[in-house]
Amino acid sequence: MGVSRQTIGKWENGQAIPELPNILQISDLYGVTIDRIVKEDDECNIRFTSKEGVDIKRTIAFLIKAKLRTYAGHGPEIVSSRVASHDLEYKEEDLFYYDTYLGGECFSGEEAIWHHGIPVWCMNYSGRVVGENFNGDFLKEVLSHVPKEMPYRGPAIYKKGDYSYHCKVDGEFIWYQGYEEIFYCDEKIYECYFHGGIVK
């Protein structure tokens, strides 16, 4: 069809919708009507899920909400699960989010989501402050703008005053890795690596 595996992965995971020429090709390839392909209320269609049965759209929507109510939203920490750890959590119906990290200027941590008590998604991250003028409130502001098409850390680019944030991600929600950095007046002052995906 002349499209990349990454594009097809986005279609399968509900992160993108095929353009009309691709829908026509899919219709011809599988011998199904366009109506059946595009109608979400069609009884023949199922919700977009990964091979592991995780509802990707719902998980991403919950993850973004959880991020906005915990670290990025200045949410309160809960009792530490380990010595000197910083722990935050958010619950909603059958979904549970947990973020735990160690350190401050140099830190490592993990975010995870459980569905009905079963872990379904996880992200590990490790970062450090590498220059003067780091501003934790700026980082939280950036993280509060987490986009649904890249629901890991912050947007690809975010600027405010002398601060600028950049984030690059390779992969899809089910398996990815990324890097973020903050600059102050063109000097890098912060960096963080992260990776993760669906767990089963």
The pLDDT value recorded for residue 41 is: 55
Q: What is the pLDDT of residue 52?
A: 53
pLDDT score of 46 more than 60: no
Looking at the predicted structure, is the pLDDT value of residue 153 above 50?
Answer: yes
Going by pLDDT thresholds of 50, 70 and 90, the confidence category of residue 47 is very low
| CB under 8 A, 24+ apart: contacts of 132-136 | 132/184, 132/187, 132/189, 133/162, 133/184, 133/185, 133/189, 134/105, 134/182, 134/184, 134/189, 134/190, 135/163
The pLDDT tens digits of the residues spanning 76-134 come to 999 999 999 999 999 999 999 999 999 999 999 999 999 999 999 999 999 999 999 99
pLDDT at 51: 43
Instruction: Read off the pLDDT of each residue in 38-58 and give the average, rounded to a whole number.
Output: 61
What residue type is 184 in one-letter code?
Answer: Y
pLDDT averaged over every residue in the chain: 89
Mean pLDDT calculated for residue range 19-48: 65
User: How many beta carbons lie within 10 A of that of residue 37, not counting itself?
Assistant: 18
Distance of CA 142 to the CA centre of its chain: 14
